[in-house]
Chains A and B, each alone.
Chain A
Amino acid sequence: MSNHELPRMPKSWRLESKPHKFCPGCGHGLVLKALGMAIDELGIQDRVVFGCDIGCSLLAWDFFNVDTIQTHHGRTTPVVTGVKRANPEAIVIAYMGDGGGYAIGSQHLVNAAARNELITAILVNNTNYGMTGGQMAPTTLPGQKTETTPYGRDVKEAGYPTQGPEMVAAIAREGAYVARGTIANLKQLTRFIKKALQNQMEGRGFSFVEVLSACPTNWRTNAKDTWEFVEKEMTKYFKVGEIKVPAAEGGETDE
């Protein structure tokens, strides 16, 4: 990974709230860096309404110098949908975790995608419920130990990890943009997020980016193991790349 040429801090970040509230080694900071750079590059700071969910994503409530609404668990998608429908000039972002997007708020994600809402959803996949203490999430890997799968996720009992972007891509219509990025490739992630926001700005359709992220606190991993989990374990189930790209655009895979 060569991130040395990236700015140390995006302009749209809020200086007063730094250092941020996430755990050391948490992936959120990187995702929000990619988002901040995308906002800066597009020059849209004054038009963005950033909604954040409950779970660790709520710690982003004062992360940016943009209008921010911290909502309820799973309900960020409808809140920003409501804003967008009432004010089509707004560029709205729903920022959530895997529990918020794929479990408690899955009906909102599915239906926003089906309606091709002009919103951008960014979902951070760290394979567990972080803020509540590391329980099984829809994205927990088979065999992965969490506080509610003490013997490892048994797929016979708990099913397989949710393939979120694939699900959204299956529902979304032409014009939608769906991708899965990773904190292990920040330049690519920034590109995906930027394209997602542009998709909204151009009025093409729904946009969704899942991000493979890290939760060393609940994984109980050191730096090396953390990166190995993100880059080697998670990618076994979660393929990084663009999954649905509007016809006009032209896709990109991670090969």
Chain B
Amino acid sequence: MADKPIEGEKKAFMTGNEVVAWAALAAGAEIMYGYPITPQNEIMHYWTRLAPKFNRKFLQTEDELSAGFTTIGGVLAGKRAFTATAGPGNTLMQEPMSMAEMMRLPTVVVIQQRGGPSTATVIYSQQEVTMTTYGGNGEGLRIVYSTSNHQELFDYTIKAFNTAWKYRFPTFILGDGYQAKMRESLTIYDPEVRGIEMVPTTPYVLRPGQIGVNREPNHLRNTYNTEEELYEVLQKHISAYNEVAPEIVEYQEFGTEDAEIVVVSHGVVFRSCKGAVQELREEGLRVGYFRPITLRPFPGEQLRKVAERARMLLIVESAYGQLAKLVKDAIFGCSVRIEGLFKPGVGITSEEVVTKVKELL
């Protein structure tokens, strides 16, 4: 049996789904639970090919409810456990993830967004933003990283396990069908050589010791009898979340100091926007970009500063205003003009962004 999935670091050429499988291996994920759905299947294909070589496990479940709840079981047993899904599977995944949210369980879920609503397309979309950030019957006490390329997919998949186990909130990698299937080069590495220490995991059940002698049994629940009891628990969770949010928030910005128009986008669409902004800058136009990497917690304060300086925000997304909703919520009260380039379920090129910006300038 090989010791480490990746020795040192090396250049590789892969699809995004494979990247996720390798990153999870490198991060020391011990078990994956999963149910087939396009476009995330190759995460399972590669995990199942690789896992036995490194003494890792896999369980193919009967549906995404089960994939989510077995992942919870794996986490409760103290393992770095994860699952991956998309679209209608993500809809079902909201039930187990609301339990993870209530019990603050460090689950890791990789979402490769596809078209919606319903079965729609298996190809690509950014329509799972609302569901992934605020799904379930709760307050969205989750951490959601939206990646834009394979290097990020690798880096943030590793990071997701650490974020989850450090802060104990369910953590998501929000990719999409393009990222899942695209091929590009990246550097894969053993986290150790980059000085990344994996946050140790601890079991919630069957801790060492003997009940009644040197350990207490753990009684874990998500049901409360009274409004007061629930309120108290939620207040604790919410203030814990708000407290750590500033440490977790990540974003990128460029040219926002003097930009008239700031293009706001996330995920793979950010690639087009970045290209467009660079092109427009070269033409001497005062355009910048702002890209939230964490959609939850959202870099609201940072965006507000940008919005207060700019004349206009142009929100670009492969959805009909799901990112826009997060943006508006974050900068409420700011008088900046907001425009959208919304193409639900469809890819967006930098040419389209350039054209739109020029129309608006």
Contacts and interface: CB of A to CB of B under 8 A. Distances in A.
Direct contact of A and B (CB under 8 A): yes
A89 B206 contact: yes
Contact of A108 (B57, B66, B99, B209): B66
Given A68-B218, A78-B70, A81-B73, A86 B65 contact: no
Given A49-B205, A68-B217, A108 B62 contact: yes
A67 interface: yes
A162 B66 CA distance: 22
B152 interface: no
B79 interface: yes
A85 B59 contact: yes
Interface stretch (B167-175, B192-200, B219-227, B281-289): B219-227
Given A78-B61, A86-B30, A67 B205 contact: yes
A189 interface: no
A105 to B, nearest CB: 9
Interface stretch (A54-62, A144-152, A231-239, A247-255): A54-62
**Interface residue range, chain A:** 35 or more
A46 interface: yes
Interface in A36-65: 45-47, 49, 54, 58, 61-62, 64-65
B219 A82 contact: no
B218 A67 contact: yes
Given A75-B65, A89-B206, A108-B62, A82 B73 contact: yes
Contacts of A47: 206
A86 B77 contact: yes
Interface string B102-134: 000000000000000000000000000000000
16 contacts: A46-B209, A64-B217, A65-B212, A71-B69, A78-B69, A82-B69, A82-B73, A82-B77, A84-B73, A85-B74, A86-B30, A87-B78, A87-B79, A107-B63, A111-B62, A111-B66
Given A46-B209, A72-B222, A82-B73, 6 more contacts: A46-B206, A65-B217, A79-B73, A85-B57, A107-B62, A108-B65
Interface of B: 30-31, 33, 57, 59, 61-63, 65-66, 68-79, 81, 95-96, 99, 203-207, 209-212, 217-223
Interface of A: 14, 45-47, 49, 54, 58, 61-62, 64-72, 75, 78-87, 89-90, 107-108, 110-111
Nearest 10 interchain pairs by C-beta: A82-B73, A82-B70, A78-B69, A111-B62, A86-B77, A67-B205, A70-B221, A86-B74, A87-B77, A83-B73
